[in-house]
Amino acid sequence: MISKKGIFNILIVDDNPDHAQLAKDKLLSTNPEYQINIAHSGTECLKLLSQNNFDILLLDYNLPKENGLELLSKLRKMYQLPVIFVTGQGNEKIAVNAIKSGAYDYITKSTNYLSILPLVVEKAITAFQTKKLQAKLQKSLEESEEKYRDLVENANDLICTLDSTGKITTINKQAISFFHYSKNEILKMNLKHFISPDVRKNIPTFIRKTIEQGTVSGFKTKLTNKEGKEIIVEINASLIKQNGEISGIRTIIRDITQREKMEGEIKKSKHYLENLFASIQDAIFCLKPDTTIASCNEAAEKIFNYSKQTMLGKKLTALSTDDRKIFSLIKKIIDPKITKKIYAQEVLMKKKDGKKFPAELQISSMKNKKTENTEILVTIKDISERKQLQLRLIQADKMVTLGQLAGGVAHEINNPLTSVMGNAQLLLMQLPPTNPGYTEIQKIEQSAQRCKSIVTNLLGFSRQQEFEFQATNVNEIINRTLSLYERQLTIENIRVVKKYAKNLPKLKLSAPQIQQVFLNLIVNAQQSMPSGGNLTISTEISNTASSKNKLIDNKQSEKNITITFQDQGMGIEKESLARIFDPFFSTKEVGNNTGLGLSVSYGIIKKHKGNIRAKSNGKGKGSKFVIILPLETEKESL
Ligand SMILES: Nc1ncnc2c1ncn2[C@@H]1O[C@H](COP(=O)(O)OP(=O)(O)O)[C@@H](O)[C@H]1O
Ligand SMILES: [Mg+2]
C-alpha cells in the first residue's frame, strides 16, 4: 500500500472551472499533500503532461471542440499513467468504451460523485504504483536470473547437477564442450561414465559423502571424454534442497591438469635442487646475521662429524679456530656500505674430535625475498689434500734442483779426483813402503776412494747413471738383499716379518740398483731400532685410482707394485720428514753415515719412474717407507 502521505501529482482536465475546482478542493480535503493541476482543454492537458510528471489523470469526457475518447487513446500511446474517465450521467456506454480504450476506471458526475472521487483516485494511484513496482521487481528478477545463467553457462569450470545416483540433470556449455556429446545425450548419462575407469569406484563414495556432509570440496579425480582425452579435475559438490528435501547435487568441476603438471614440475625441480644441495661435497651453511647456523647440507655433517641437529643454532665460529678472521668477513658482508658481496679466505676449521684442517671459506650474502632478511651463505672446502699435494710438488721441485746441482758438482769433482787417485796410486807404485811419505800417500789414496764413492752416489741421486733393466721379481730382490744382511739383523735382535703378495708380476728394473735401495732402507730401519724390534716388509699390487696413498704423480700408470718397509724404531720428526731425501741430510753421528742413503734411493726409484715416500707418526712411533713402482714399465718390455 502506497502511503497516503506520498506526494502525488494529479491533473484534472475539465472545461468547467467550477467542476474542476470542486474536484480539486475535495481531493485536497482528503489528502492535502496532493499536487493538483487543472487543464481546461485537451491542448492545455497535453501541454501540461509534456512539462510535468503526473501520477494520475482525471479526464472529463465533455471537452469543447474535442472528443474525450480520442484524447484518451492519444494519451495512452504517449504516457503511462492511470486515467480516470469522468462522464455525465447517462453516458455509461461511453465509459465502458473508455475502459476498453485503456482508462483505468470511470466515474459519473452523479450527485454524490465528489464523495467517492477521493477513494477512486487513491485506489487507482495505489494499484498503479503497485503494478509499477511489480514490473520493476519482475524486471530485476529476470535480469539477475539472466546474469546467473550467463555466469553458469560461460563459466570456465564444468558445472553439472546430478541426481542422487549420479545421473546428470543439468549441464553448462563448458561441460558439454569437454564431454564432447550432445546436450541431450549427456542428460541421459551418469557422471560415472566420464570418470576414468581406474578411479571410477570412488564415485559412489563421493556422492554418499556429499549427501552425508552436505558439501564435499576438493575431491580430486580424472575425467575422460568421448574422444578419450583425460583431464585431472577437482570437484566441489553441494546439495540442492527444495522445501527441505534433497533434490540433487550441484557440482563444480575444475580442470586442474595444468596446475597438477606445474606442481609436479615444481616438486621435481625442488627435488632436483635438494639432491644437488645434498650431493655437493663442500659444506654449505646458511647463517643468520649473528652467525648462528640456520641450515646446512649433508656434506657439512660429514666434514665436521656433527649431526645437523647439533649444528643448528650453534655459531659457525664454534667450528673454527680462526674465529676472528670469520667474524671480520661476516662484518664486511653485512655492512651495507660495502658493495663487494663475496669473499674467500683460507681458514683453519675444527672437527668434532678437535682435529683441525685447512679450509677455503667462501662467504656471500643473499636477500631472502620472503622475509626481506639478509642471509649469509658460507661454503667450506676441505683443502687438506690440495695442501699436501702442493707440499709434494714443492718437494719434487726441490729434489730436481738438488739433483741437478749434485750431478754438476759430481761431474766437476770426478776429473780432478781421478787425477788425485791416479797420481797417488802411481806414487805408491814408485815408492817403497819404507818411504817416509808412503803412509800419507796411502791415506790420500783412501780418502780419494771415499770421495769417489760419494761422487758415484751423487751421480746416482741425480739420475745421471745408466742402468740395465731386466724383468725381475721384486719379492726375490728383497729376499736376496735380506740374505746379505741377515746376520747383522740377527745380532741386532731384529725380526723381519714378510708379507709378500703372491704371483707378483715381474717388473723391468735394474736389480742391483733396487737392491741398493732395499739395503739402504733395511740398514736405516735397523739403525732406528737400537734395542731390536720388528721390520715388516710387504709387497702388493695396488691401484692408484683406488689407493688412498696418492703418492704417485698422475702421469703414472694405474697399476703399481707397492713395497712397504715398516719399522718400530725411533720415528722421524715432522721437521726432518721434509728434508729426509736431501743429499747429506743425516741425524746420525758423523762416521759411516753420509746422509746419502735415502737420496741415492730416491734417484734410483725416480729412474724407475716410481716414487718413494716416508711416513712417520712422530718420535718413537716407528717409520714407514713406501715405494711405488709402476707396472706399465714391465708391460712395455714384454
Ligand atoms: N727408518 C728410519 N727411522 C728413523 N729415521 C730414519 C729412518 N730412515 C732414515 N731416517 C732418517 O733419515 C736420515 C737420512 O737417512 P739416510 O739418507 O739413509 O742417511 P743416513 O742413514 O746416512 O743418516 C737419517 O739420518 C735419519 O734421521
Ligand atoms: Mg742410511
Give bridge partners of residue 63 from the DSSP assignment: 66
pLDDT higher than threshold 80 for residue 160: yes
**Is residue 143 domain-resident?**
no
Query: Among the three residues 374, 397, 412, which one is the final residue of a domain in this structure?
Result: 374
535 touches ligand 1 (CB under 6 Å)? no
Q: What angle do CA 516, 519, 521 make, to 5 degrees?
A: 110
pLDDT higher than threshold 50 for residue 548: no
151 φ, ψ (degrees, to nearest 5): -60, -45
Confidence of residue 65 (pLDDT cuts 50, 70, 90): confident
Determine contact, residues 95/109, Cβ cutoff 8 Å: no
For the CA of 599, the nearest atom of ligand 1: 17
Name the residue with the closest Cα to ligand 1, atom 10. 524
pLDDT higher than threshold 60 for residue 202: yes
528 touches ligand 1 (CB under 6 Å)? yes
- Taking the centre of ligand 1 as the mean of its atom positions, its distance from the CA of residue 614, in whole angstroms, is 10
Best mutation site among 450, 564, 567, 580 for ligand 1, i.e. most ligand atoms within 8 A of its Cβ? 580
Name the residue with the closest Cα to ligand 1, atom 12. 580
- Taking the centre of ligand 1 as the mean of its atom positions, its distance from the CA of residue 407, in whole angstroms, is 22
For the CA of 585, the nearest atom of ligand 1: 14
**Is residue 27 domain-resident?**
yes
566 touches ligand 1 (CB under 6 Å)? no
pLDDT higher than threshold 90 for residue 72: no
* Ligand at shortest distance from the CA of 599: 1
pLDDT of residue 189: 94
**Is residue 273 domain-resident?**
no
Question: Of 83-92, 315-324, 419-428, 525-534, where does mean pLDDT reach its minimum?
Answer: 83-92
Question: How far is residue 93 from each of residues 114, 172, 447, 606, measured CA to CA in Å?
Answer: 21, 57, 170, 143
For the CA of 587, the nearest atom of ligand 1: 25
Regarding whether 534 and 513 lie in a shared domain, the answer is: yes
- Taking the centre of ligand 1 as the mean of its atom positions, its distance from the CA of residue 503, in whole angstroms, is 32
Regarding whether 296 and 224 lie in a shared domain, the answer is: no
Name the residue with the closest Cα to ligand 1, atom 27. 587
Determine contact, residues 509/547, Cβ cutoff 8 Å: no
Instruction: Supply the range of the domain harboring residue 54.
Output: 9-136
Q: What is the DSSP letter of 282?
A: S
Determine contact, residues 55/75, Cβ cutoff 8 Å: no
Question: Crossing angle, helix 384-430 and helix 438-461, to 10 degrees?
Answer: 150
- Taking the centre of ligand 2 as the mean of its atom positions, its distance from the CA of residue 515, in whole angstroms, is 14
Number of domains in the chain: 5
**Is residue 32 domain-resident?**
yes
Confidence of residue 552 (pLDDT cuts 50, 70, 90): very low
Regarding whether 583 and 488 lie in a shared domain, the answer is: yes
Regarding whether 58 and 191 lie in a shared domain, the answer is: no
Q: Which residues, at least 6 apart from 425, have a Cβ–Cβ distance to it below 8 Å? A: 445
Give bridge partners of residue 168 from the DSSP assignment: 162
For the CA of 622, the nearest atom of ligand 1: 3
pLDDT of residue 362: 93
585 touches ligand 1 (CB under 6 Å)? yes
Return d(Cα 137, Cα 321) in angstroms, integer: 84
**Is residue 613 domain-resident?**
yes
Name the residue with the closest Cα to ligand 1, atom 9. 524
* Ligand at shortest distance from the CA of 600: 1
CATH of residue 194: 3.30.450.20
Regarding whether 621 and 520 lie in a shared domain, the answer is: yes
**Is residue 4 domain-resident?**
no
Regarding whether 238 and 166 lie in a shared domain, the answer is: yes
Confidence of residue 277 (pLDDT cuts 50, 70, 90): confident
CA proximity to 166, closest of 136, 191, 194, 193: 191
Confidence of residue 592 (pLDDT cuts 50, 70, 90): low
Determine contact, residues 507/475, Cβ cutoff 8 Å: no
The winner for highest mean pLDDT among 339-343, 556-560, 599-603 is 599-603
DSSP tally for the chain: helices H, then strands E: 19, 24
With 0-12 CB in 10 A as exposed, 13-18 as middle and 19+ as buried, what is 561?
buried
Give bridge partners of residue 85 from the DSSP assignment: 59, 106
CATH of residue 400: 1.10.287
**Mean per-residue pLDDT of the chain:** 88
DSSP H helices, 348-495, are 384-430, 438-461, 474-491
> Of 357 and 558, which is predicted with more confidence?
357
- Taking the centre of ligand 2 as the mean of its atom positions, its distance from the CA of residue 460, in whole angstroms, is 15
**Is residue 269 domain-resident?**
no
CATH of residue 24: 3.40.50.2300
CA proximity to 488, closest of 453, 529, 444: 529
Regarding whether 614 and 527 lie in a shared domain, the answer is: yes
Strand 494-499 vs strand 533-543: parallel, antiparallel, or unpaired? parallel
Name the residue with the closest Cα to ligand 1, atom 24. 586
Regarding whether 627 and 481 lie in a shared domain, the answer is: yes
Query: Among the three residues 414, 442, 461, which one is the final residue of a domain in this structure?
Result: 461
586 touches ligand 1 (CB under 6 Å)? yes
For the CA of 598, the nearest atom of ligand 1: 17
The winner for highest mean pLDDT among 88-102, 241-255, 547-561 is 241-255
For the CA of 600, the nearest atom of ligand 1: 17
* Ligand at shortest distance from the CA of 568: 1
- Taking the centre of ligand 1 as the mean of its atom positions, its distance from the CA of residue 587, in whole angstroms, is 7
Question: Crossing angle, helix 42-51 and helix 68-78, to 10 degrees?
Answer: 20
pLDDT of residue 545: 54
567 touches ligand 1 (CB under 6 Å)? yes
pLDDT of residue 557: 56
Regarding whether 323 and 209 lie in a shared domain, the answer is: no
460 touches ligand 1 (CB under 6 Å)? no
* Ligand at shortest distance from the CA of 457: 1
- Taking the centre of ligand 1 as the mean of its atom positions, its distance from the CA of residue 341, in whole angstroms, is 51
Name the residue with the closest Cα to ligand 1, atom 5. 572
> What distance, in Å, lies between the first and last C-alpha atoms of the chain?
124
Instruction: Give me Rg for the CA atoms of the chain.
Output: 58
pLDDT higher than threshold 70 for residue 155: yes
Regarding whether 362 and 291 lie in a shared domain, the answer is: yes
* Ligand at shortest distance from the CA of 592: 1
For the CA of 586, the nearest atom of ligand 1: 25
Determine contact, residues 626/551, Cβ cutoff 8 Å: yes
Query: Among the three residues 136, 165, 183, which one is the final residue of a domain in this structure?
Result: 136
With 0-12 CB in 10 A as exposed, 13-18 as middle and 19+ as buried, what is 93?
exposed
Return d(Cα 250, Cα 258) in angstroms, integer: 24
Q: What share of the chain is helix, strand, coil (3-state, %, to 5)?
A: 45, 25, 30
Return d(Cα 59, Cα 41) in angstroms, integer: 10
pLDDT tens across 389-415, in order? 888 788 788 888 888 888 888 888 888
pLDDT tens across 335-383, in order? 878 777 788 899 999 999 999 999 999 999 887 777 777 788 999 999 9
Regarding whether 416 and 330 lie in a shared domain, the answer is: no
- Specify whether the backbone of 380 is left (phi greater than 0), alpha (psi in -120 to 50) or beta: beta
* Ligand at shortest distance from the CA of 595: 1
601 touches ligand 1 (CB under 6 Å)? no
Return d(Cα 85, Cα 76) in angstroms, integer: 12
Regarding whether 475 and 605 lie in a shared domain, the answer is: yes
Name the residue with the closest Cα to ligand 1, atom 14. 586
- Specify whether the backbone of 180 is left (phi greater than 0), alpha (psi in -120 to 50) or beta: left
CATH of residue 598: 3.30.565.10
Q: pTM, whole model, 2 decimals? A: 0.48
Question: How far is residue 451 from each of residues 420, 443, 484, measured CA to CA in Å?
Answer: 11, 12, 25
Q: Which three cell numbers stand for residue 472?
A: 725381475
* Ligand at shortest distance from the CA of 601: 1
Would the CA dihedral through 427, 431, 437, 441 be positive or negative?
positive
**Is residue 38 domain-resident?**
yes
Q: Which three cell numbers stand for residue 63?
A: 471537452
pLDDT tens across 441-498, in order? 999 999 999 888 888 888 877 776 777 889 999 999 999 999 888 888 999 999 999 9
616 touches ligand 1 (CB under 6 Å)? no
